Amino acid sequence: MFGMSSIYSSYGRYGNYRANALMPNYSRINDMRLVSAASRRFNSISSTPGTSYTYNRYNRKDPAASILDTDTASFLKEYQNKMSDLLQKSNALRADNPRSKTGELTAKSSSEDILTADIKYRLSEPASYKLNVSQLAAAQKNVSEGVDRYGNDDMAGSLVIATSDRANPISVNVGNAMGKNNYEKLQSVAREINRYRTNVTAQVVVNEGKASLELTGSETGKSNAFNVTGTYAQSSGLDKTKEAAQDAEYSIAKNGGKAYKYTSESNTVNVGGYKLQANLKKTGEATIDTGADNEKTADAIGDLVESYNSALKLLNDNASRGKGVLQQMRRMVQPPVSEKTMAQVGVIANKDGTLNFDRDTYLKQADLYPSLTKSIVSGGYSIANGIYDDAKAGMNISSSRLTGINPAGNRYSGASYMQMQNSYLQNPLNYFSTYNSSGIVSLFNNNSVGLLMNINI
């Protein structure tokens, strides 16, 4: 009609843009005609008495929820939940997932009386760290000389404490202490010191009937040392340090390499970066080994098997519905990998298609053959990937295939399905929509452009 054959032969491989650039006016006319046609079609239907329709993207009647009985709607919702849960549980084990459970590592100390290990963030690689703890971090402690607990000595003088957390020292007049005996008077002094809320804590300790005032730093490390002066401090010996504030001293050697020395104000120290920490308890040597967290992986496999069996039960209980249910059930009862391979990691296929999980078998195999076990569970052709693919395919099955109900609310038959398809394809506006959205050069241009440009609307 407009020489489309020659245009297509010259510009067909250059796409829609070049053809539309040659004939912009025709493209605009097409847009206007489509809008006009759709508007008239909608008005003619919506103006029909007694009708009320909603439209989907294809301008067809939307199969409203009202055509589904409660049981069918409940099934569709449960089916979606089961497949979604199965998808998530299987994805949690897939090696392609950066947060896979099989990639999580745990840390163990060879001697927990010397140190314990604590993972703060997800570790990226297995490693072994040898720590030699030569000194623990400690807080300063000052203790006065003991006095008879039930005595009533004449306590007097000043007590001045300079701490690292205050610009000015605190001062206490011991002569103002109230009490019927030495113990109560020292308690009065301790309460006055603690009232200032510094990083030094005061308390009264009793040993063999002797009461003493004890000052202890609330934080370890040299930088948290404090100084005690005053006449009472000198006379009672409280100005003398019983235990000095000190830093922890230790060395770390990674994977048998060179040992590096470190110091820390705290006994909680970083090991190999900020992701792994050690809590130092006493001097000595200990090793921290990081490796696969087989217990967490076993938990995830157990969750996957439970989700798989639950989804299969739903399919079996609803096998009389649409063909999509049987299709998904047939897909799932086929083992994701061979039954012999699954059995190596404790996943047993039952005759009815369900699965069992032997946790002890898995843990034993994971310790003996970690790489092989991981490959079977989460590798490219693995249990997790196979079930993931089944769940993903199940999510793509249409609700009409699952229920056997077509958009008109009737059970599908071969004839009714073909009739619905033919009705859609024979509507010229559907062709016109495809033509308009794809530009002048499209799948239908060669044979139908003349018909489209001359359609009577």
315 and 83 Cβ atoms separated by less than 8 Å: no
d(CA 165, CA 368): 54
Secondary structure class of 329 (helix, strand, coil): helix
Give the gyration radius of the chain's Cα atoms: 40
Q: What b/e readout covers 66-82, taking b as 16+ CB neighbours within 10 angstroms?
A: eebeeebeebbeebeeb
pLDDT of residue 284: 97
Listed in sequence order, the residues at least 6 apart from 89 whose beta carbon sits closer than 8 Å to its beta carbon are 300, 303, 304, 307, 308
Please give the pLDDT value at position 99. Answer: 83
Q: What's the CA gap between 366 and 379, in Å, rounded?
A: 14
Nearest of 295, 289, 249 to residue 110 by alpha carbon: 289
Tokens coding 416: 């009714």
Burial class (CB within 10 angstroms; exposed 0-12, middle 13-18, buried 19+) of 345: buried
The one-character DSSP state at 456 is -
Output the pLDDT for position 47. Answer: 46
Q: Edge-to-edge, what's the strand order for the sheet holding 170-173?
A: 170-173, 158-162, 227-229
What is the chain's pLDDT, residue by residue, as a tens digit (457 residues)? 334 433 333 333 334 433 444 444 444 455 455 445 545 544 444 444 444 444 344 444 444 444 568 888 999 999 999 999 999 999 999 988 888 888 788 899 999 999 999 988 888 788 999 999 999 999 999 999 999 999 999 888 999 999 999 999 999 999 888 889 999 999 999 999 999 999 999 999 999 999 999 999 999 999 999 999 999 999 999 999 999 999 999 999 999 999 999 999 999 999 988 899 999 999 999 999 998 889 999 999 999 999 999 999 999 999 999 899 999 999 999 988 999 999 999 999 999 999 999 999 999 999 999 889 999 999 988 999 999 999 999 999 998 899 888 655 556 544 444 555 555 555 554 544 444 444 444 444 444 544 444 554 4
Query: pTM of the prediction?
Result: 0.58
CA distance 352 to 345: 20
- For residue 375, the one-letter residue type is S
User: Which two tokens mark 3?
Assistant: 């020489």
Please tell me the predicted confidence (pLDDT) of residue 215. Answer: 97
